C-alpha cells in the first residue's frame, strides 16, 4: 500500500483510469440490483418498462457527472454540479414528477373518483383504482356499441389530465342525455306515432326528471348549468326521404342500454300492431 499510493500520486492519469473503472463496475452492479427490485415490486409491465428506462437515463446522467468530476482539472463550485445533477434528474424523471403533481390535482380538485365513468383520450371506462403514477379503469365500449364493459383493464398515467380533456358522466349532474332515432316512411301517421312514443318515453324516463331536478339544484351550486326543461321529448324532422322521430330523455350512465332496450321493444311491438305506421 505504501508503494501504491506514491505511484498513483506520481501518475494521476492511471489513478483516474482505475478509479473510473471501479466506479463503473460498482454502478453497473447497483443498477442490476435496482432493476431486480423494480421487477419484484412493479407488476405492471408497461409501468416497469417506463420506470426502468427513466432510471437508466438518470443513472447515465449521474455517472457522466461523476466522471466529469474525476477528470476535470477545474475547480467548479459545488452548486454547479448539483445544478447539473438536478437538471438531469428533472429531465430523466419528468413523467414521474408530472404524474405525482397530477395526483395532487386529482386529490385536491377531484375531477373524478373511483366508481365514476370517464372518457380520457377517446378511451371510456369505469375508474376502479387510483395509484401514485396512474389510475386504473375498466374499459367500456362506445355509446353506439352499448357502453358495455369489455373486460379490459387500462392503466392511464395521471398526467393525462394535463394532456387530454376528461369527460365524467357521474360528476355534478349524474345523468346523461340519451337519444333514440326512429325512421318512418313519409306516408306513415306520424302524429299518432309521436303521441305513442311520448307515452312510452314518459313511462321509462319521467320518474328520472324529478330526481334530475334536485341534482341540477345541487350541481348549480358548483357549476353554471342552464338546464330548464328536463322532461322527455320527441322531436320530428324530415330527412333524406323519411320522417325522423328523435326520442331524447335522461338516464343514468350505466342504465342507458337497458332503458334503450326496453323502449325499443315497446316501439317495435307498437309499430307491428299499427298498420298506418311503417318503419323506414
Residue 225 has a pLDDT of 62
For 152-206, the pLDDT digits (tens) are: 888 888 888 888 888 887 776 677 888 899 999 988 888 989 999 999 988 888 7
| Counts for the chain of helices (H) and strands (E), in that order | 8, 8
Residue 272 has a pLDDT of 87
Residue 184 has a pLDDT of 92
User: Which cell numbers hold the place of 14?
Assistant: 492511471
Whether the CA torsion 270, 182, 191, 201 is positive or negative: it is positive
Residue 92 has a pLDDT of 64
Residue 255 has a pLDDT of 82
Residue 88 has a pLDDT of 65
What is the rounded CA–CA span in Å between residue 21 and residue 25? 6
Residue 183 has a pLDDT of 92
Residue 243 has a pLDDT of 92
For 61-81, the pLDDT digits (tens) are: 777 777 777 766 555 555 665
Predicted structure pTM score: 0.54
The residue ranges of every structural domain in the chain are: 4-92, 111-168, 176-273
- Residue 121: which region, alpha, beta or left (left: phi > 0; alpha: psi -120 to 50)? left
- Kindly report the CATH class assigned to 111-168: mainly beta
Q: Which residues of the chain have pLDDT under 70?
A: 1-12, 46, 71-90, 92-93, 143-146, 172-173, 214-228
Residue 224 has a pLDDT of 61
Residue 67 has a pLDDT of 74
Give 41: exposed, middle or buried? Use CB within 10 Å, 0-12, 13-18, 19+. Answer: exposed
In sequence order, the 6+-apart residues with CB closer than 8 A to the CB of 40 are none
Q: Which CATH architecture is the domain 176-273 placed in?
A: 2-Layer Sandwich (3.30)
Amino acid at each position: 500500500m505504501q508503494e501504491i499510493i506514491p505511484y498513483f500520486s506520481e501518475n494521476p492519469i492511471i489513478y483516474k483510469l482505475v478509479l473510473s473503472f471501479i466506479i463503473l463496475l460498482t454502478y453497473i452492479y447497483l443498477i442490476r440490483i435496482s432493476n431486480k427490485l423494480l421487477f419484484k415490486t412493479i407488476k405492471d409491465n408497461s409501468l416497469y418498462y417506463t420506470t426502468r428506462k427513466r432510471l437508466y437515463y438518470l443513472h447515465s446522467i449521474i455517472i457522466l457527472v461523476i466522471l466529469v468530476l474525476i477528470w476535470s482539472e477545474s475547480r467548479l463550485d459545488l452548486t454547479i454540479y448539483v445544478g447539473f445533477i438536478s437538471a438531469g434528474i428533472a429531465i430523466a424523471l419528468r413523467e414521474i414528477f408530472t404524474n405525482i403533481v397530477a395526483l395532487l390535482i386529482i386529490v385536491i380538485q377531484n375531477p373524478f373518483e373511483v366508481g365514476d365513468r370517464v372518457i380520457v383520450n377517446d378511451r371510456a371506462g369505469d375508474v376502479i383504482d387510483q395509484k401514485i403514477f396512474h389510475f386504473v379503469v375498466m374499459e367500456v365500449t362506445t355509446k353506439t356499441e352499448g357502453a358495455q364493459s369489455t373486460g379490459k383493464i387500462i392503466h392511464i398515467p395521471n398526467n393525462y389530465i394535463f394532456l387530454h380533456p376528461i369527460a365524467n358522466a357521474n360528476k355534478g349532474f349524474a345523468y346523461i342525455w340519451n337519444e333514440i332515432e326512429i325512421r318512418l316512411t313519409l306516408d306513415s301517421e306520424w302524429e299518432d306515432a309521436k303521441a305513442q312514443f311520448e307515452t312510452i318515453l314518459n313511462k321509462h324516463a319521467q320518474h328520472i326528471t324529478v330526481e334530475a331536478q334536485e341534482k341540477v339544484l345541487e350541481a348549480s351550486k358548483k357549476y353554471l348549468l342552464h338546464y330548464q326543461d328536463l322532461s322527455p321529448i320527441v322531436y320530428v324532422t324530415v330527412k333524406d326521404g323519411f320522417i325522423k322521430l328523435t326520442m331524447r330523455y335522461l338516464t343514468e350512465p350505466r342504465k342507458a342500454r337497458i332503458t334503450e332496450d326496453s323502449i325499443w321493444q315497446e316501439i317495435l311491438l307498437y309499430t307491428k300492431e299499427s298498420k298506418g305506421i311503417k318503419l323506414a
